[in-house]
């Protein structure tokens, strides 16, 4: 009788263990985990610590040298470096709020905005405007854009003055 009861208890124990395995399998579930990474874009000038969706730079235009007057323009290669950080494709645009680049010292000459041109990464020059213009495009990641400035000089009408441009660079999604 003792042996039979051990045998019955052993069989019951095994059946209960197998039933537990079956119940455990039937009780499992699949969980789907999802998350959303929001778009992030940042623009900074040079190695400045701060970054935002737009940055402002003021460029004082120097008086042209004799060879620049003869050539018809002044050019500053790598005038600034813009640092782009984005996890989506991006466009950097540029504009100004200025109506012109300033007035000559004798007040007889107004330097027009379209005398100021700029380009990024040796692309074609674009003319500065009060409207946003595309300066550069790129894919997600970190990129440093070297920006060149070119100032056209009308030799016939040029007069020395205090000329400058306030440039507003903005990053947007492509």
Domain boundaries, the chain: 41-173
The model's pTM is 0.76
Residue 2 pLDDT exceeds 70: no
Q: What is the pLDDT of residue 8?
A: 47
| pLDDT bucket at 25, cuts 50 / 70 / 90 | low
What CATH code is assigned to 41-173?
2.60.40
At 121-147, the pLDDT tens digits run 989 999 999 999 999 999 999 999 999
Q: Is 48 exposed, middle or buried (0-12, 13-18, 19+ CB in 10 A)?
A: exposed
Nearest one of 169, 167, 163 to 101, comparing CA atoms:
163
């Amino acid at each position: 009788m003792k042996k039979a009861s051990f045998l019955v208890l052993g069989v019951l124990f095994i059946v209960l263990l197998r039933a537990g395995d079956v119940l455990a399998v039937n009780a499992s579930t699949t969980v789907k985990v999802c998350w959303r990474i929001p778009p992030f874009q940042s623009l900074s000038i040079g190695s400045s610590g701060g970054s935002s969706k737009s940055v402002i730079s003021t460029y004082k235009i120097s008086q042209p040298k004799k060879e620049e007057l003869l050539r018809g323009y002044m050019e500053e290669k790598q005038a600034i470096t813009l640092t782009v950080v984005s996890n989506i494709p991006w466009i950097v645009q540029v504009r100004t709020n200025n109506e012109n680049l300033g007035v000559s010292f004798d007040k007889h000459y107004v330097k027009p905005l379209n005398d100021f041109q700029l380009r990024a990464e040796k692309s074609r020059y674009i003319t500065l405007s009060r409207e946003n213009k595309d300066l550069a495009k790129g894919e997600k990641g970190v990129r440093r854009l070297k920006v060149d400035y070119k100032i056209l000089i009308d030799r016939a009408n040029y007069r020395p003055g205090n000329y400058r441009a306030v440039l507003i660079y903005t990053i947007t999604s492509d």
